[in-house]
Amino acid sequence: MELNKIYNENCLDTMARMEDNFVDLTVTSPPYDDLRTYNGYSFDFESIAKELFRITKEGGVVVWVVGDATKNGSESLTSFRQALYFKEIGFNVHDTMIYRKTNPNPVMGKRYKQCFEYMFIFSKGKPKVFNPIQVHCENTKGFVKCFVGEKDGIKQYVNKKRNEYKNIDNIFEYKTVRNKETKKHSAVFPEQLANDHIITWSNENDIVYDCFGGSGTTPKMAKANNRNWIVSEISSEYCEIIKERLNTLL
């Protein structure tokens, strides 16, 4: 299987050529409900999910960014049906994260502004890589009492110095930006979103895959972070967008 290559084909054809336990990390966003038009193409969700499980290494992760359409006054809940199916075929639902848009589009009607999508973190067993994004703690002075166990019916505590840094929470906030690189694609997630997941769930030289290449955000950020990458994209028009974006890193 050739790495660092755009495969202009159905992702099922690409994955069929991959060995079992081949990919370290998948970061993707499927064309969901009617929220995204995908150049007239449809996809076989269940077959794709099964193939993702087969090609993912033990300890590997799939980041599945997805939302729901609202029809006849009700949200579809397609995202949760997909998450339950991933669990049914063997993945762990390691985390249900939120991608919060800081500049969402305005909405009309009797509902609040929709400002987020789900980022399901599916793992094949326990994730082998976790490089958490951290922030500086506001209060690092003094000590904190930590529970370490129980002995003879008495709870045991130790005093530990406060950490200088802490992990961020599982709500990632980004501003959606359209630029000359991405304006030809109808649905683009922020480069920083792909970047943050790639550095969190993989190490340098790992293989990062995107089964719905779209505008090429995942392979671009994988390349920028010294990861190997593979991308499947069924639309030749979108493949040209991906090539253009990858060429900006040369």
Report the amino acid identity of residue 9: E
Report the amino acid identity of residue 183: K
Structure tokens at 11: 């992702």
Which residues, in sequence order, are CB contacts of 230 under 8 Å at separation 6+?
A: 1, 3, 4, 5, 7, 14, 23, 207, 208, 209, 210, 219
118: enclosing H helix or E strand: strand 116-123
Q: Best-predicted range by mean pLDDT among 9-18, 42-51, 98-107?
A: 9-18
Of the listed ranges 18-22, 114-118, 122-126, the least confidently predicted one is 114-118
Contact (CB, 8 A) for 48 and 85? no
Q: Where are the beta strands (DSSP E) in 23-73?
A: 23-28, 56-66, 70-71
Strand pairing category for 74-75 and 70-71: antiparallel
**How do residues 27-71 score in pLDDT, each as one tens digit?**
999 986 654 445 555 678 999 999 999 999 999 999 999 988 888
Q: What is the three-class DSSP state of 90?
A: coil
CA–CA dist 27, 6 (Å, integer): 15
CA–CA dist 178, 221 (Å, integer): 17
CA–CA dist 87, 156 (Å, integer): 37
**How do residues 185-229 score in pLDDT, each as one tens digit?**
445 789 999 999 999 999 999 999 999 999 999 999 999 999 999
Would you state the pLDDT for residue 37? 47
Nearest to 61 by CA among 95, 38, 32: 95
Structure tokens at 238: 């979108």
47: enclosing H helix or E strand: helix 45-55
Q: Which CATH architecture has domain 5-133+168-247?
A: 3-Layer(aba) Sandwich (3.40)
- Beta bridge pairs of residue 7: 232
Cβ atoms within 10 Å, residue 83:
19
Would you state the pLDDT for residue 111? 84
Would you state the pLDDT for residue 141? 61
Structure tokens at 187: 């649905």
What's the first-to-final CA gap in the chain, in angstroms?
23
| Residue ranges covered by each domain of the chain | 5-133+168-247, 135-167
Q: At CA 172, angle to CA 166 and CA 173, rounded to 5?
A: 120
Of the listed ranges 91-95, 180-184, 221-225, the least confidently predicted one is 180-184
Average pLDDT over residues 160-170: 80
Strand pairing category for 5-7 and 228-232: parallel
Contact (CB, 8 A) for 86 and 64? yes
Would you state the pLDDT for residue 50? 98
